[in-house]
Amino acid sequence: MEGGEEDQQSPIQRSFSSPGNQDELLKITAESGASSGGSRASSIVTLIYVVYKSIRTVVFSNKLNLLLPFGPAAILVQELTDQTAWVFFLSLVGVAPLAERLGFATEQLAFYTGPTVGGLLNATFGNATELIISIFALKSGLIRIVQLSLLGSILSDLLLVLGCAFFCGGLVLRKEQLFNKATAGVNSGLLLVAVMGLLLPTVLHYTHTEVYFGKSELALSRFSSCTMLVTYAVYLYFQLKSQSNLYVSLNEEGIQIEEGVDDEEAPQISKWESVIWLLVITTCVSILSEYLVDTIEGTSIALNIPLSFISVILLPLVGNAVDHASAITFAMKDKLDITLGVSIGSSTQIALFVIPFSVVLGWIMGQAMDLNFQLFETTTLVVSVLVVALMLQEGTSHYFKGLIFLLCYLIVAASFFVHDSSAGGQF
């Protein structure tokens, strides 16, 4: 009987009996609306189809988006209770899927803009979550939170993300992996340039050798920040145009190293869809970031956790969750050049773009944001960059190097758990 009923169905009915063909059904519905003479109705149907397909692609195509309800939950808890710690953690978890989708929308838009503009888009939106959090913290005058959160992002990318990737890749493949030394060398050099920009204002402050006390340090920070931004702009040109042949993977062909993803044949959404989604997701990140910043100090007091530990360890841990997963995945596929693009490339963006941009933005907003990250924090960054730079010199990787990075990050986390970051300056 069942077979007979199925035979009596028309070919179109049989075609759309499975859920996988619903897209085609909507297309035919739109076309039939147009052929029946109802141009307005057909336009509405077509628009509904486009919106449906876009939402399905962006919202329902990633399992990490199951965490999206944590964002509205944070707003609800904030409005109904005074539990700042719960608001902080709900906001922190809710930001993670938004950060991943922001990267996805940027990647889709880069298909239409070309490599140069795409590189600029990645510089702007690649670490947009950290940048937005910094903007709201600057607006509230929380300069130390800005400094600590950006420092934590660099340390997380350098030690935790790269360490997990090297460790997992070495264990799975059980061999010594290779990567492009030229790429690693350039990025390590850029990180050392950023370290110099952060180190000199700190040394100037703690040696009390300012020509104009209270002014020279800030002036030096602003001048160094402008220089670092120029350096990063030249680096983008060098990477994408002048010497693009240096950025070729040793193990893969047709891979966009600077993007950190495999080269795909076609975009999944249109150019204007990408722009609209960038605006929508950036707005959502901005809303949650405001709740996040407003509850950091309250959470530190309520849970008796040092503010430095929350800013340097917890904030980047969630913000870089997507980087962790992708870096480990590529390392286990023996694509270490992409892994370095994800970890070292992200660190370079923050050090040479986000940090100096925050200083310039603070200058515009009338906030005394500078590059004096205090002695303890700056020393931690200098040592971490040197350790990573030395380990990458050989152009090889194995699980033991990854383990060293992870142990270094464990020491850093323990250090900030017992470090009073307010002792050296005011928040």
Helix (H, G, I), strand (E, B) or coil at 255: strand
Burial 67-90 (b: 16+ CB within 10 A, else e): bbebbebbbebbeeeebbbbbbbb
Helix (H, G, I), strand (E, B) or coil at 178: strand
CA distances from 192 to 181, 198, 275, 384 (A): 16, 10, 35, 11
Question: Would you give per-residue pLDDT tens digits along the chain (427 residues)?
Answer: 444 444 444 444 444 344 444 445 445 444 544 454 457 777 787 778 888 888 888 888 888 888 889 999 999 998 888 888 899 999 888 888 888 788 788 778 877 876 556 656 665 676 778 888 888 889 888 899 999 999 999 999 899 989 998 999 888 888 888 888 888 888 889 999 999 999 999 999 888 888 877 788 999 999 999 999 999 988 888 877 755 555 555 554 444 434 444 444 578 888 888 889 888 988 888 888 888 888 888 888 888 889 899 999 988 877 676 667 777 888 888 888 888 887 888 888 899 999 999 999 999 999 989 999 999 999 999 999 999 999 988 888 888 999 999 999 999 999 999 988 775 544 3
Reported in sequence order, the residue ranges of 150-216 that DSSP labels E, i.e. its strands, are 177-178
Q: Which residues pair with 262 in a beta bridge?
A: 255
For residue 266, give the DSSP letter. Answer: S
Cα separation, 225 vs 202, in Å, equals 14
pTM of the predicted protein model? 0.78
In CATH terms, 62-417 corresponds, of 1.20.1420.30, 3.40.50.150, 3.40.50.300, 1.10.287.70, to 1.20.1420.30
Query: 125 and 326 in contact (C-beta within 8 Å)?
Result: no
- What does the pLDDT read at residue 322? 64
- What does the pLDDT read at residue 381? 94
- What does the pLDDT read at residue 119? 55
- What does the pLDDT read at residue 7? 47
- What does the pLDDT read at residue 10? 44
Query: 71 and 98 in contact (C-beta within 8 Å)?
Result: yes
Longest CA–CA span in the chain (Å) reads: 95
Query: 105 and 278 in contact (C-beta within 8 Å)?
Result: yes
Phi then psi for residue 66, to 5 deg, are: -65, -20
